[in-house]
Amino acid sequence: MTENNSNISENATNKTFIQVQTSDFDVGEEQQEFSDPSIGAVVAFTGLVREFSEHPEVQALTLEHYPGMTEKSLFAIAEQARQRWPLQQIRIIHRVGRLTVGEQIVYVGVSSAHREAAFEGCRFIMDYLKTDAPFWKQEHTRTGDVWVDAREKDQQARQAWQTDAPAPQDKR
């Protein structure tokens, strides 16, 4: 299965940028992409590979994905966020392949005219990415490789958005 740097997709009309890549990314360069004068707020989340508390002997992990479906599902998540908040640019980068502790793994950047939509849209996208986008982590230990189990709390975070009252529009 391909683990190469690939899958660049950009839609100029709704300004959603999705990329799945093996290489690292630069958060500062990403910030520069938010340049429209109507932008009042940019909220960006960066996920890192943390120490492996469940298996302390783990040295690294490998991220596998489902090429094609990955990009499709990330676009669908971005569109769902746009239906709830007046978002401008959405940029999602997710790395695949082998990663070690401390490395950047995922970036979600969202811009809007006002901060409420940007904060909530960014969090919504991350919560849905955790349960809907086809990525899988495998931890590497001295005694073998272990697939990471899905977490109930990630499902709960996603479900919390479904039970929320309809999202307020901007300009509160």
Binding site for other proteins (CB under 8 A): 1, 47, 63-66, 68-69, 72-73, 94, 105-106, 126, 129-138, 145, 147-151
Is the Cβ of residue 17 or residue 75 nearer to other proteins in the bound state?
Answer: 75
Cα–Cα distance for residue pair 48/22, rounded to 1 Å: 14
> Closest distance between other proteins and the C-beta of residue 39, in Å?
25
Neighbours of 156 (CB within 10 A): 11
Is the Cβ of residue 150 or residue 160 nearer to other proteins in the bound state?
Answer: 150
Neighbours of 154 (CB within 10 A): 15
Query: Which value, to the nearest 10 degrees, does the dihedral of the CA atoms of residues 77, 161, 14, 30 take?
Result: -80
Pick from 67, 87, 69: nearest CA to 78 = 87
> Closest distance between other proteins and the C-beta of residue 71, in Å?
9
Is the Cβ of residue 26 or residue 145 nearer to other proteins in the bound state?
Answer: 145
25 CA to centre of own chain:
13
> Closest distance between other proteins and the C-beta of residue 139, in Å?
10
20 within 8 A of 1, measured Cβ to Cβ:
no
Is the Cβ of residue 65 or residue 82 nearer to other proteins in the bound state?
Answer: 65
> Closest distance between other proteins and the C-beta of residue 73, in Å?
8
Is the Cβ of residue 55 or residue 72 nearer to other proteins in the bound state?
Answer: 72
> Closest distance between other proteins and the C-beta of residue 5, in Å?
17
Burial grade of 37 (CB within 10 A; 0-12, 13-18, 19 or more): exposed
